[in-house]
Amino acid sequence: MFTGGLGAHGGAQKIGATVIPASSGNTQRQIQTMIDMKSTILCCTPSYAMFLGETIEEMGVKDQLSLKAGIFGAEPWTEDMRKAIEEKLNIKAHDVYGLSEIMGPGVSYECECQQGMHINEDMFIAEIIDPDTGEVLPEGSKGELVFTTLTKEGFPVIRYRTRDICSLIYEPCKCGRTFIRMNKPTGRSDDMLIIRGVNVFPSQIEEVLLKLGSDVTPNYQIVVDRVNNSDTLEVQVEMSEALFSDDVKSIDKVAKNIHEQLKSILGLSAKVTLVSPKTIARSEGKAKRVIDNRKLV
């Protein structure tokens, strides 16, 4: 389940901040709330921050906002995106890292220097390992991030493999904090995709398609892209010969059904495109199921 907002909410209350839990959607109302309540900090995904920025420009209310800074996480974002968000919202944009298995957001945060995220080492021990051998790598190497929790109750983890690939920075930070920093993760050691902040495994999509029986074939491709700073997910599936020769109405019905099922399993809307039989490229080795056109590094 999506725990992101809840963790940030509790943390902000703990330091005495007033929190307005706004959830997602209703963008114009969110902006009006920020104006009315004179919100100073915005916490959401970077792609939603971009969208808010664009809507604020359209509404012409930029000078009515009291925002100072933003904390953005749950999906990969670039330095260019940071600059664009900072400009659009007139704030300083900070990165945050976390994962539901550990505690959600707040495992590490960027300070005012914006040069890597300080890991809260009073709560977590971080290591970088070689994802293939499990061996701990020398300081500064790039590898898989592993966490051990020191204070977590109920669900403590010991050397938990995050599957996120990154490196750690041991040099002291200009801000004066002594906790080590981590660089933004640049990839995964498994096939998980992060789409609009939601974790998606290709196997979840495959499962939906395989349950559909004779209307579609198990030949499919997942195409991920980023359009106007928002992730898009398209699932292309080959129809069976029988469905292909059927009328457009039946084909639409099958596509709609796949869309609904994917939405309920992933919690995310995907564009479903049914393609003619034998049009998806066959591979001689491992099938290439995912085409990720997002350029994030």
User: Is 107 within 8 Å of 97 (Cβ atoms)?
Assistant: yes
Q: What is the SS3 assignment for 96?
A: strand
Please identify, using beta-carbon distances, which residue of 49 and 117 lies nearer to Zn ion.
Answer: 117
Instruction: Give the shortest CB-180-to-Zn ion separation in angstroms.
Output: 10
Instruction: Give the shortest CB-115-to-Zn ion separation in angstroms.
Output: 7
Q: Per CB under 5 A, does 173 bind Zn ion?
A: yes
69, 175, 192, 198: which one binds Zn ion (CB under 5 A) = 175
Please identify, using beta-carbon distances, which residue of 113 and 291 lies nearer to Zn ion.
Answer: 113
**Amino acid making up residue 221:** Q
Cα(281)–Cα(104) distance, rounded to whole angstroms?
38
Q: Per CB under 5 A, does 157 bind Zn ion?
A: no
Q: Per CB under 5 A, does 242 bind Zn ion?
A: no
152, 161, 177, 294: which one binds Zn ion (CB under 5 A) = 177
Q: Per CB under 5 A, does 12 bind Zn ion?
A: no
Please identify, using beta-carbon distances, which residue of 19 and 173 lies nearer to Zn ion.
Answer: 173
Instruction: Give the shortest CB-118-to-Zn ion separation in angstroms.
Output: 6
According to DSSP, residue 64 is labeled: G
Residue with tokens 């469905």: 243
- Apex 108 CA angle, 173 and 112, nearest 5: 45
Instruction: Give the shortest CB-34-to-Zn ion separation in angstroms.
Output: 27
Taking the mean position of all CA atoms in its chain, how far away is CA 204?
17
Residue with tokens 């490229």: 281
Residue with tokens 């359209």: 58
| Sole window of 67-75, 96-104, 168-176, 199-207 interacting with Zn ion (rule: CB under 5 A) | 168-176
Cα(253)–Cα(262) distance, rounded to whole angstroms?
14
List helix spans (H) across the chain. Answer: 4-14, 27-37, 46-59, 79-89, 202-210, 241-244, 248-266
Q: Is 220 exposed, middle or buried (0-12, 13-18, 19+ CB in 10 A)?
A: buried
Please identify, using beta-carbon distances, which residue of 44 and 119 lies nearer to Zn ion.
Answer: 119
Please identify, using beta-carbon distances, which residue of 173 and 251 lies nearer to Zn ion.
Answer: 173
Instruction: Give the shortest CB-123-to-Zn ion separation in angstroms.
Output: 17
- Apex 18 CA angle, 70 and 15, nearest 5: 80
| Sole window of 64-72, 134-142, 167-175, 215-223 interacting with Zn ion (rule: CB under 5 A) | 167-175
Binding map of Zn ion across residues 93-132, x = CB under 5 A, - = no contact: ------------------x-x-------------------
Write out the residues near Zn ion by the rule CB under 5 A.
111, 113, 173, 175, 177
